[in-house]
Chains A and B, each alone.
Chain A
Amino acid sequence: MNPILDVKGLTRIHGTECPSCLDMTGPEHDTNVCPACGSVVAAANVSFSLQPGEILGIMGESGSGKSTVVKTLYFDQAPTRGRATFRDDDQSHELFNLNGAEQRWLRNHRFGMVYQNPNLGLNFNISAGGNIAERLLMNDLNHYGDIRRRASELLTRTDVMVSRMDESPKQFSGGMQQRVQIAKALATRPPLLYLDEVTTGLDLSVQAKILDLILEIQHELQTAMIVVTHDLGVIRLLASRTLVMKYGRVIESGLTDQILEDPQHAYTQQLVASTL
């Protein structure tokens, strides 16, 4: 089976890059800030592939570059360098060579994103149903009744009371806001979904239900996902393979059970030991 996504050498540097940026940052230098020019190396030479229907975990501490990876893949920001190939049915897209309109089309139709901060994923000035309708409209569903029906289906699926679909998600609890985000992301049944710390900051019982929902969705729709988190429990539950990042680098990758039971890198060993 061909991977749905192939990422090679993805690099994102904030600031004007100098020749030392890559050589003088990273885990062995204990920083992601270039001492020569002060640029921040948010991600450097990140490579991985993702199979259709697979869940890949990216873990690492705050600032390690996890979000940078998914944000560039979702076109929230442009990479400094690197390639990403997205295979969709029989078509292959070089993500970073596409023009803005093509990128927007993929983002609206074939990718979904759930942000840690619901503010980024939802428009609080319109209703929960409206948020979903927005995405459906971009997907050529134009009939008011159809849109409303589909939006309420999606909200039901994600356990948001349909009776509240006309309220702004601003008034919802954190867990409910994440559910609306998930409903919105799923509106187009995308084959590829990015989840950035979606359960961070929620109560444990609320977290658990969101994780269940994510697994159910993967079962039902065979959605490939990249799950970014610093929570090993989330990784253990969701991901078949995991990348470990530090200072913008992937320091280790492997089957999730192997990463957790037989971590190779000193940093991963410490990370795993600290949560036992």
Chain B
Amino acid sequence: MTAISDTPILEVQGLAKQFSLHAQNEIVPSCSDVNMLAFPGQLAALTGPTGAGKSSVLKCIYRTYLPSQGSIHFRQADGEVVDLARISEQDMLQLRRSELGFVTQFLHCVPRRPADEVVAEPLILRGIALADAVAQARELLRRLNVPERLWRLPPATFSGGEKQRVNLARGLIARPRLLLLDEPTASLDKATTGQVIDLLREFKQAGVAMVAIFHDPELVTALADAEYRLAPPRSLTQSTPALEAMQS
């Protein structure tokens, strides 16, 4: 059984993002002319110089940024194709719960909650019982070499690398259909990076589509099926599809 398919799960067309900073009376472009595809079971790498807007693209896909221009077509599990630049907030929240995952460079989580529960949360949100979810979380933490003595502690005091692993586990646990990765191995040692590579390969096997930013070109070589090199952004004339859609 192969999960590879020639129908894209994600098609980004003419995506651009710019910020209108009112106080500075300034328009700051952060990415432009972005076109890319992502397929089930494949990893698309975003590369390019700093400031080319790699992270902005991921944030636009996830709606943390409102895209200024272009479309982001996503094929849902039910086969329907929606434009992530224009769907409603409720639909976006629903997709985040069930189909999209985002692993950023930093762990944003509820303070004071133990690591295993932080990791388990995406499963709990999907209605899986706490004990079951925590068991799966520990399994994953073990695979990512997070020492068992840390599992019941809040990640706030963990080292950069430990936090990063908790963060990865949390992003991976629910096996989203589309996984966005922003430098997920930035502060990891060689051994753990190897574990992450194995895990991401497994994900590809299972049919997960990924869009990733890696600081290390070796990872691109090891994992990417396609590479999209971004050029520094240019500024555009106004129009904000997400805002228009919301207003209509």
Contact = CB atoms under 8 A, between A and B. Distances in A.
B89 A269 contact: no
B63 A258 contact: yes
A208 interface: yes
A261 to B, nearest CB: 5
Contact of B89 (A208, A255, A265): A255
B63 A255 contact: yes
Interface string A247-270: 000000011011001101110011
B64 A257 contact: yes
A265 B59 CA distance: 19
A206 interface: no
A2 B92 CA distance: 16
Interface string A60-73: 00000000000000
A269 B20 CA distance: 10
A255 B93 contact: yes
Interface residues of A, number: 20
B191 interface: no
Interface residues of B, number: 20
Interface in A225-276: 237, 240-241, 254-255, 257-258, 261-262, 264-266, 269-270, 273
A208 B247 CA distance: 36
B65 A262 contact: yes
Nearest to A257: B64
Contact of B66 (A51, A219, A264): A264
A130 B64 CA distance: 46
A51 B90 CA distance: 9
Given A212-B112, A269-B21, A258 B243 contact: no
Contacts of A106: none
A208 B93 CA distance: 25
B110 interface: yes
Question: Which of B21, B59, B65, B110: most chain A Cβ within 10 A?
Answer: B110
A215 B112 CA distance: 12
Interface string A36-79: 00000000000000010000000000000000000000000000
A270 B92 CA distance: 26
Interface in A176-217: 208, 212, 215
A261 B65 contact: yes
A241 B65 contact: no
Given A241-B89, A264-B243, A255 B64 contact: yes
Interface in B55-85: 59, 63-66
Contacts of B89: 241, 254-255
Given A208-B111, A261-B59, A269-B23, A219 B124 contact: yes
Contacts of A264: 20, 66, 243
A225 to B, nearest CB: 15
Contacts, number: 44
Nearest to B97: A240
Interface in B93-115: 93, 110-113
Given A212-B110, A212-B112, A215-B110, A258 B65 contact: yes
Interface in B104-137: 110-113, 124
Given A215-B110, A255-B89, A261 B23 contact: no
Contacts of B90: 51
A258 B62 CA distance: 9
A258 B66 contact: yes
Given A258-B65, A258-B66, A261-B59, A266 B22 contact: yes
Contacts of B20: 264
Contact of B19 (A257, A258, A262): A262
B110 A270 contact: no
B66 A262 contact: yes
A234 to B, nearest CB: 12
A82 to B, nearest CB: 20
B242 to A, nearest CB: 9
B23 A237 contact: no
A270 B59 contact: no
Top 8 A-B pairs, shortest CB-CB distance? A266-B22, A262-B65, A257-B64, A261-B64, A255-B89, A258-B64, A241-B89, A240-B93
22 contacts: A212-B112, A212-B113, A215-B110, A241-B89, A254-B89, A255-B63, A255-B64, A255-B89, A255-B93, A258-B63, A258-B64, A261-B59, A262-B19, A262-B59, A262-B66, A264-B20, A264-B66, A266-B22, A269-B23, A270-B22, A270-B23, A273-B23
Given A215-B110, A241-B93, A262-B59, 8 more contacts: A51-B90, A212-B112, A240-B93, A255-B93, A257-B64, A258-B66, A264-B20, A265-B22
